[in-house]
Each structure stands twice: as C-alpha cells, then as structure tokens.
Chain A
Amino acid sequence: DTVLTQSPALAVSPGERVSISCRASEGVNSYMHWYQQKPGQQPKLLIYKASNLASGVPARFSGSGSGTDFTLTIDPVEADDTATYFCQQSWNDPRTFGGGTKLELK
C-alpha cells in the first residue's frame, strides 16, 4: 500500500502563511487530495488532484506538487483554520490517507 507521511503538528500565528507537507512512498501522479477535519466533525474536501480548489473553499487554501511530494498552503491563516489536515491518494489501490497534521494557532 502507498504510505503517506505528514508532520504530526504545526503551530502558526494568525495572518501567517503555513505549508503542510505530504510525502508518498511511491508516485501518485497528481492524484493527491486534501481534507480538513475539525473536532467532532467529518472530514471536508479542500483540494482535489493536487491543486484544484473544492467548491466553496476559500482561496486562502492552495495545493501543489506531483509524483511523491505535495504541499497544502494556507495564506493567510485564520483562527477558524484550527483543525487536522489529511492528505489522501487515489492513484494506487487501495486509497490511503496520511496520518494527519494538526494545525494549532498561537
């Protein structure tokens, strides 16, 4: 299975720019997607196919990468962005998720 590796946690101040990384153990083309999950809620799609913004998602969120290295960027970060962010690939079967990056605001 394709293993996706994310840093466990990040802390940033409101108004700053933050980049959350996801590295795949094998190539996934551009089929990397990003989700935001707030406590007690279901995951919400943010970015699909590496760089495409999902409907209704603020333009502060953006994605980049291809192959094995991907990045979710939030610029500027707002207080409401406190959440855990998961990457997920769908190029290789089975679909797999990263362990999640918990974003905290200072």
Chain B
Amino acid sequence: QVQLKESGPGLVQPSQTLSLTCTVSGFSLTSYNVHWVRQPPGKGLEWMGRMRYNGDTSYNSALKSRLSISRDTSKNQVFLKMNSLQTDDTGTYYCTRDYNYGYKRDWFAYWGQGTLVTVSS
C-alpha cells in the first residue's frame, strides 16, 4: 500500500539548515507528485513546495529563497532542505502525495505521520 515516512533531526539550531527525507513505498516517484506541508504547533497547515512526477519543482513564494526540494528515484526518496532556520520554523513537517497520476490540480490523498522539528539553541 501507499506509504510515506518523514525522517530528520528533531532539533536544529537557529540560522542552520534543515534537511528532511521522505521515504515512499507502494508507488513510483516518476508517476505521482509529492509535496511538503508544515504545521506550527497549534496552528494551521502551510504548503511548502512540491516535486512533480517529471522532476520539476515549485515552491511557496514565501519560502522560495530558502527552500530546495530534490529526489532520488532509485531510493524512493524526496528531500527537503531549508536554510536560515528561525524559531518560527518550528513545527511538524509532512510529506504528502497527490491522488491522481501527474495531475496539477489534485488533492492530498496520502500523508506521512510527520516529523517534529524544533528550532532552538
């Protein structure tokens, strides 16, 4: 079945770079779009960016200067790197997959369990 699992450091120091990995199973990264969504504690959801099935990426304009998403299809992994972290980047980071094959206007059908990232010295 479709599964996504986020992994990465739970604690990052301010001004440092966050690196997260989303490891997927049950589908091919060359067929479906995978996104990163984050959620500050007790707050709402924010779309960060996506890796399209064809390797193209797009980013939330508010994060674009700090964010990079890449992938390794041989390892079924999608990566998130975000630099210059501040305390307001603290939150749970999710990777999520679209329902349909390569469809731009799709919905988030499958979600990882999320990984909590705390930005603190």
Contact = CB atoms under 8 A, between A and B. Distances in A.
B44 A98 contact: yes
Using C-beta atoms within 8 Å of the partner chain, give the interface range for chain A.
20 to 34
Interface size class, chain B: 20 to 34
Contacts, number: 51
B106 A45 contact: no
Interface string A86-106: 101011011111111000000
A42 B112 contact: yes
B58 A93 contact: yes
Interface in A42-70: 42-45, 48-49, 54
A97 B46 contact: yes
Given A42-B113, A49-B107, 14 more contacts: A42-B111, A42-B112, A44-B111, A45-B107, A45-B108, A45-B109, A48-B107, A54-B109, A86-B45, A88-B107, A90-B106, A93-B58, A94-B61, A97-B47
Interface of B: 35, 44-47, 58, 60-61, 94, 99, 104-109, 111-114
